[in-house]
Chains A and B, each alone.
Chain A
Amino acid sequence: MSMRRVAVVGAGMTRFVRRAMETPKELAWHAARMALDSCGLTLNDVGGVCIGSAPDAFDGVHMKGEYLSDGSGAWGKPVMRSYVGGGTGVFLGPHGWYHVASGLFDVVLVVAEEKMSSFYPHAQAAFLTIFDHTTERPLEPNLLWIFALEMNRYMQAYGISKRDIAQVAVKNKRNAADHPCAMLGEANITVEDVLNSEVLAWPVQRLDVSPVSDGAVAIVMAAEGVAERITDRPVWVQGVGWNLDTAYWTNRDLAYPEYVERAARMAYDMAGVREPRKEIHIVEPYDPFDYKELHHLEGLLLADRGKAPELTAQGVTARNGAMPVCPSGGLLGVGNPITAAGLMKVAELFWQLRGEAGARQVPGTPERGLAQAWGDLMQVGTVTILGTQRPA
Chain B
Amino acid sequence: MTQRIASYPGTALSEEDIEQGRVLSVHDRLRADYAWDAGLAVGLYLDGLKAGVILGVRCTRCERTVVPPRAFCEQCFAPMDAFVPLSDVGTVNTFSLCYVTWDVKRIAEPLIPAVIDLDGTSPPAGIMHLMGGVAPDRVHIGMRVRAVWKPERARQGAITDIRYFKPLRRG
Q: Which residues of A are at the interface with B, using a C-beta cutoff of 8 A?
A: 11-22, 27, 30, 34, 38, 60, 120-122, 124-125, 128, 132-136, 138-142, 144-145, 148-150, 152-153, 156, 179-181, 198-204, 214-215, 246, 248, 250-254, 347-348, 351, 354, 356-358
Contact = CB atoms under 8 A, between A and B. Distances in A.
Contact of B10 (A15, A120, A156): A15
B54 to A, nearest CB: 11
A149 B112 CA distance: 10
A20 B124 CA distance: 42
Contacts of A18: 12-13
A292 to B, nearest CB: 15
B13 A181 contact: no
Interface string B76-113: 00000000000000000111111111111000001101
Given A134-B159, A149-B94, A215-B10, A11 B1 contact: yes
Contacts of A120: 18, 27
Query: How would you classify the secondary structure of chain B's contact residues: helix, strand, loop or mixed?
Result: loop
B14 interface: yes
B98 A27 contact: no
Nearest to A251: B125
Contacts of A149: 94-96, 113-115, 128
B159 A13 contact: no
Given A17-B11, A248-B74, A347-B1, 10 more contacts: A19-B15, A20-B13, A38-B5, A135-B68, A135-B127, A142-B113, A152-B141, A156-B94, A200-B99, A252-B124
Interface in B114-133: 114-115, 124-130
B171 interface: no
Nearest to A128: B102
A42 B3 CA distance: 22
Given A22-B10, A122-B103, A358-B3, A135 B159 contact: yes
A122 B104 contact: yes
Interface in B1-50: 1-5, 8-15, 17-18, 23, 27-28, 30, 34, 36, 38, 42, 45-46
A181 B11 CA distance: 11
